[in-house]
Amino acid sequence: MTPPALAQNNQYKRTLLQLRSKGERNLEKYIFLSSLKQYDEDMFYAILMANMPEICPLIYTPTVGEACLEFSHIFRKPEGLYVSIEDKGNIKNILKIWPKKAETRITVVTDGSRILGLGDLGVNGMPISIGKLSLYIAGAGFKPESTLPICLDLGTNNPKNLEDPLYLGLRQKRVGDAEMDAFMDEFMDAMAEVFPKILVQFEDFSTEHAFHYLDRYRHTAKVPVFNDDIQGTGAVVLSGFVNAAKLSSDASGRALTDHKVLFLGAGSAGVGVAKQVMSFFTLQGMSEADARNRIYFIDSQGLITADRPKLQEHKKYFARTDYSGPPLKGLSEIIDYVKPTALFGLSTMKGAFTQEVVEKMAVLNPRPIIFPLSNPVSLSECEFKEAIEWTDGKVIFASGSPFLPYTYKGKEYYPGQGNNMYVFPGIGFGGVLAKCTHVTNSMVENGSLALADSLTQEERDLGMIYPRLTRVREVSTQIAARVIHIAQEEKVDRNNVLRNMDDHALLEYVQKRSWYPSVKTT
Ligand SMILES: NC(=O)c1ccc[n+]([C@@H]2O[C@H](COP(=O)([O-])OP(=O)(O)OC[C@H]3O[C@@H](n4cnc5c(N)ncnc54)[C@H](O)[C@@H]3O)[C@@H](O)[C@H]2O)c1
Ligand SMILES: O=C(O)C[C@H](O)C(=O)O
Ligand SMILES: [Mg+2]
């Protein structure tokens, strides 16, 4: 008989106590949880799932950013697969080393070149792939053995890495584009051969490569592919905007079609979000051109206009053709010109939403929508507390990284977390269960709308625009079911068993296929 002191529930409480005894030392908590995952996976997921708001920021954003910065120093044991440029010509054999080939269904692949807003971290980006896959398991119900974290080592341009004697990756500068293309083509072919049932999520590639490889593979690869920073972020922000715009319009009396969105930051995330946010307008009957017209972009040089010489390809679509005055540079003057109802930050510029900027938004709008989405929290364009105080509690807020609720003038306010973690687990799970051949735009868009619809009345009454993190499994199930439905409509599904199921039956099917840890937490 198990002695009472070793009963599973006590071991759960004991492990939590050990974790919490580390106080504010979040990186140590990350290391503790990472070791726990390696020696008692069930306990790790039980703790994560039962304490999502507390543990998620430790294994994911923002602490995962610290873990990446320190990865070559805190590394204990490999948890994923590294594929290096030196493996070129032999990638298939490297992939075959992975022990659980038959079970593998989902991978997160990064090349470490743009980790959160922290820049090129090389193979120190591996914790991003690991953290995202932990959320695929806890958030959606993938079986742990079906997940494969991958970090590609194509060199690094970060001098800190190159000088660090403990750096785990290749000590060389990044290879050029032609060499990278050839490597990626071989890698993608090998992935399809070794893991024919896999769905590939690209993560934290630098902006040009993020767009390039999504375009290159999304229609042609033999396995389904999506880019989380472009499409996942687009989906999560569209969802938050759908709910925020209604709240804002209720206060202002403005039509939903009158919203205007100003973006600070025109990288893969900003442009990905804008493309998705366009469907907010087109779903209300606006033309593509009119929807695009509701969106303005600022990059490091100011308002993006079409007459700017040498404009990067991914910025051209949203470049304004209706402004011809002297270049507008400062955020504050651009707000005066645009008069936006919503301000989104994907700029990696800490504090860019200053008091002046936020107050201006509150003068223009009875309920301004302000989303500082840059990660980790140290790069957030503004803090929740600031946004509440500077708008006298009127702001509709979502940030990329988590903030705590804040009490202002006796009322408690809840920040939204506009982080792709709310959607990628459900989109991936739906895609894999449907055995989809491709991840289509409509699957992503509907995943987003399912998230927007998932708010409970209690959450709506509190003015929330995203569901509570404690409900992420339930919400991912709804997203996954909707994604399967759309995959069927678009005929990219291959799972005949699901074809005749109605929405209720699909939801039940997804629930039944979700994995849970066996450890009891209560
Ligand atoms: N919330 C989420 O779920 C989520 C998802 C993806 C990315 N992000 C975050 O978005 C940020 C951007 O990611 P990215 O891939 O687009 O990176 P990126 O580096 O390609 O883009 C940054 C953009 O910000 C602009 N910028 C830089 N300095 C500026 C300044 N002073 N003024 C105005 N614009 C400036 C750049 O010109 C560029 O257009 C990162 O912090 C990332 O963590 C958040
Ligand atoms: O990793 C995150 O927290 C979100 C996003 O994918 C990012 O790159 O910032
Ligand atoms: Mg990312």
Distance 269 CA to ligand 2 centre (A): 9
Distance separating alpha carbons of residues 512 and 326, to the nearest angstrom: 60
Mutate to test the pocket of ligand 2, among 371, 375, 466 (most ligand atoms within 8 A of CB): 375
Does the reported pTM lie above 0.90?
yes
- Assess contact for 425 and 407: CB atoms under 8 A: no
Work out the number of other CB atoms within 10 angstroms of the CB of residue 28.
15
Distance 439 CA to ligand 2 centre (A): 20
* Residue 204 in marked binding region: yes
Q: What contacts 15, CB < 8 A, 6 or more positions away? A: 36, 40, 43, 47
- The CATH code of the domain that includes 113 is 3.40.50.10380
The residue nearest atom 3 of ligand 2, judged by CA position, is 61
Question: Quick one: pLDDT band at residue 318, thresholds 50, 70, 90?
Answer: very high
In a domain, 461, yes or no: no
In a domain, 389, yes or no: yes
- Assess contact for 181 and 87: CB atoms under 8 A: no
Question: Quick one: pLDDT band at residue 154, thresholds 50, 70, 90?
Answer: very high
- Assess contact for 19 and 27: CB atoms under 8 A: no
* pLDDT for the residue 9: 83
Distance separating alpha carbons of residues 110 and 72, to the nearest angstrom: 16
In a domain, 116, yes or no: yes
Q: What is the ipTM of this complex?
A: 0.97
Torsion from C-alpha of 181, 317, 262, 469, nearest 10 degrees: -40
Task: List pLDDT tens digits, range 164-176.
Answer: 999 999 999 999 9
- Specify whether 49 is located in the same domain as 140: yes
Distance separating alpha carbons of residues 316 and 435, to the nearest angstrom: 35
Distance 375 CA to ligand 2 centre (A): 6
User: Active-site residue numbers?
Assistant: 60, 132
Task: Express as a percent the part of the chain with pLDDT over 70.
Answer: 99
Q: What contacts 85, CB < 8 A, 6 or more positions away? A: 153, 154, 155, 170, 175, 179, 183
The residue nearest atom 29 of ligand 1, judged by CA position, is 300
Question: Quick one: pLDDT band at residue 5, thresholds 50, 70, 90?
Answer: low
* pLDDT for the residue 29: 98
User: Which of these, 119, 275, 82, 317, lies nearest to 206 by C-alpha position?
Assistant: 119
What φ, ψ does residue 408 adopt, rounded to 5°?
Answer: -135, 130
Distance separating alpha carbons of residues 336 and 259, to the nearest angstrom: 15
- Specify whether 473 is located in the same domain as 350: no
In a domain, 397, yes or no: yes
Strand positions, DSSP E, 278-399: 295-299, 302-303, 342-345, 369-372, 396-399
In a domain, 518, yes or no: no
Alpha-helical (H) ranges within 342-440 are 355-364, 384-390, 424-433
- Specify whether 161 is located in the same domain as 246: no
* Residue 299 in marked binding region: no
Task: List pLDDT tens digits, range 41-86.
Answer: 999 999 999 999 999 999 999 999 999 999 999 999 999 999 999 9
The residue nearest atom 35 of ligand 1, judged by CA position, is 300
Position 152 pLDDT exceeds 90: yes
Compute the residue count for the chain.
Answer: 522
Torsion from C-alpha of 71, 77, 81, 85, nearest 10 degrees: 60
The residue nearest atom 2 of ligand 2, judged by CA position, is 61
* pLDDT for the residue 284: 96
Work out the number of other CB atoms within 10 angstroms of the CB of residue 11.
17
* pLDDT for the residue 511: 98
User: Which of these, 84, 248, 64, lies nearest to 179 by C-alpha position?
Assistant: 84
What φ, ψ does residue 305 adopt, rounded to 5°?
Answer: -120, 155
- Scan for tokens 């599904």, then name that residue: 493
In a domain, 486, yes or no: yes
- Assess contact for 451 and 235: CB atoms under 8 A: yes
Position 6 pLDDT exceeds 60: yes
- Region of residue 396 (left: phi > 0; alpha: psi -120 to 50; beta: else): beta
Task: List pLDDT tens digits, range 274-309.
Answer: 999 999 999 999 999 999 999 999 999 999 999 999
* pLDDT for the residue 522: 83
What is the CB < 6 Å shell around ligand 2?
A: 61, 116, 204, 228-229, 375, 400, 419-420
Position 486 pLDDT exceeds 90: yes
* Residue 419 in marked binding region: yes
- Specify whether 210 is located in the same domain as 330: no
For ligand 3, an ion, list residues with CB under 5 A. Answer: 204, 229
* 303 Cβ below 6 A of ligand 1: no
Residue 255 structural domain = 231-420
Task: List pLDDT tens digits, range 429-479.
Answer: 999 999 999 999 999 999 999 999 999 999 999 999 999 999 999 999 999
Q: Is the peptide bond before 62 cis (omega within 30 degrees of 0)?
A: yes
* Residue 114 in marked binding region: yes
Mutate to test the pocket of ligand 1, among 346, 422, 424 (most ligand atoms within 8 A of CB): 346
* pLDDT for the residue 1: 54
Position 2 pLDDT exceeds 70: no
Task: List pLDDT tens digits, range 93-144.
Answer: 999 999 999 999 999 999 999 999 999 999 999 999 999 999 999 999 999 9
Name the CA radius of gyration of the chain, rounded.
Answer: 22
Task: Give me the amino acid identity at 54.
Answer: E
In a domain, 484, yes or no: yes
- Specify whether 90 is located in the same domain as 123: yes
- Specify whether 330 is located in the same domain as 436: no
* 347 Cβ below 6 A of ligand 1: yes
Task: List pLDDT tens digits, range 341-380.
Answer: 999 999 999 999 999 999 999 999 999 999 999 999 999 9
Secondary structure class of 157 (helix, strand, coil):
coil
Task: List pLDDT tens digits, range 214-269.
Answer: 999 999 999 999 999 999 999 999 999 999 999 999 999 999 999 999 999 999 99
Distance 267 CA to ligand 1 centre (A): 5
> What is the number of the ligand 2 atom nearest to the C-alpha of 114?
8
- The domain tally of the chain equals 3
Distance 228 CA to ligand 3 centre (A): 6
- Is residue 271 classed exposed, middle or buried when 0-12, 13-18 and 19+ CB atoms within 10 A define those classes? buried
Question: Quick one: pLDDT band at residue 520, thresholds 50, 70, 90?
Answer: confident
* Residue 258 in marked binding region: no
Alpha-helical (H) ranges within 159-232 are 159-163, 177-194, 207-217
- Specify whether 156 is located in the same domain as 252: no
- Specify whether 186 is located in the same domain as 257: no
- Specify whether 15 is located in the same domain as 93: yes
